[in-house]
Amino acid sequence: MSWLRSSLSLTLSLSLALPSLAIAGPPPPPPGSKAGADQPPDPDTISAEEKLKWAKKLFGEATAAHDSEDFYNSVVKFEQAYRFAPDKHIFAYNIGQDAWELRDCARVKQYLEQFLIKETAKEDLRKKAQELLAKADGNAECVTGNTAPQPEPPPKVVVDGGDGPDLSRGGGDGENGGGEEPTPRKRGASGLLIGGVILSVVGVGAAGAGIGTMFAAKSKAQAATDAADVGATTNFPQGSYDDAVQGDVKSAKTLNVVAPILIGVGGAMLVGGIVMIVIDRGNKSKHRGFYAGQKPVQLGGLGAAPLPGGGAAGSLVLRF
């Protein structure tokens, strides 16, 4: 009976664990998007004719999602269609265009650069692709999965009845009517820092001039002293105590007055400049005054990015 009780316990434990395992799966798409239930097959396992049928089908679903401004699913469907028709590089343009509507700038760069390399005939679309790449480059609005109100949707594409779908949709300018670019944060040095540096430099110069003046006064005084000294043998002055010597005496007196003034003023200016620099550095570390709007790290956005096989992945943007 003990082995029977053990078997029943094991069976019951497994039956309780299975429901929790069945729940696991890819993360759900963002709210408001419509996930397709008909998942496409692996392109490597079907014939060329079936690939073309799937490309047309997914192209139609992507166009419908684009026209209804469901850019999340339009990007997913266009990526799936591109796998079935890798020679139709207009898909790369369509992915990049709708990824810009989501501000998914990583996809914008990936697919539009690929479109410019692969497609050389469609000059109008190449020009629009270059414009979108320029907008996405360093744009502060680039937050993966962030949707925004859209303007008039691009014109609808008609699929022809020939050998393949007419994939030259590529309409619209890809803009979202987002208005003016965000005002850039203040850059450069503050007036307090600039003033402190200038004051310090001038203070060092004035103090140096004062020290030089002091040595000049000492030199002139020494020359006058030497001219007035008497010799040990003759008991007469060694030099000629003329007008030049008298001028040296007067100059020495003047320089002795000017030197301490220059040293004092220069030292005060140097101390004042250093204080201004210290205050500026404190303002920067505490984001006050000139640096009030410059935060070291800012959360630029939070959202979800579509994955090629369906589902989504979380993402965030930090602004430094």
Give a three-class secondary structure readout of 119-173.
Answer: CCCCHHHHHHHHHHHHHHCCCCCCCCCCCCCCCCCCCCCCCCCCCCCCCCCCCCC
Angle, in degrees to the nearest 10, between helices 191-228 and 243-286 = 160
Q: Round to whole Å and give the CA distance between 64 and 204.
A: 73
Which band of pLDDT confidence, cut at 50, 70 and 90, is reported for residue 154?
low
The candidate with the shortest Cα–Cα distance to 143, out of 33, 298, 26, is 298
Say what the pLDDT of residue 73 is.
93
Checking if the pLDDT of 145 tops 60, the result is: no
Q: Which residue has the higher pLDDT, 74 or 165?
A: 74
Residue with tokens 């744009």, as numbered in its chain? 139
Say what the pLDDT of residue 18 is.
37
Report helix, strand or coil for 108: helix
pTM of the model: 0.37
pLDDT digits (tens, 9 = 90+) for 10-24: 443 434 343 333 333
Taking domain 43-173, whether its CATH number is 1.10.3720.10 is answered by no
Q: Round to whole Å and give the CA distance between 8 and 299.
A: 54
CA–chain centroid gap for 290, Å, is: 20
pLDDT digits (tens, 9 = 90+) for 67-112: 999 999 999 999 999 999 999 999 999 999 999 999 999 999 999 9
The CB density around residue 182, as the number of other CB atoms within 10 Å, is 10
Question: Which of 1-10, 75-84, 276-285 is the least confident region?
Answer: 1-10
User: Please, what is the average pLDDT of the chain?
Assistant: 73
Q: What burial class does residue 268 get, using C-beta atoms within 10 Å of its C-beta: 0-12 exposed, 13-18 middle, 19+ buried?
A: middle
Tallying the residues shown for the chain, one arrives at 320
Q: Which residue has the higher pLDDT, 292 or 132?
A: 132
Which band of pLDDT confidence, cut at 50, 70 and 90, is reported for residue 219?
confident
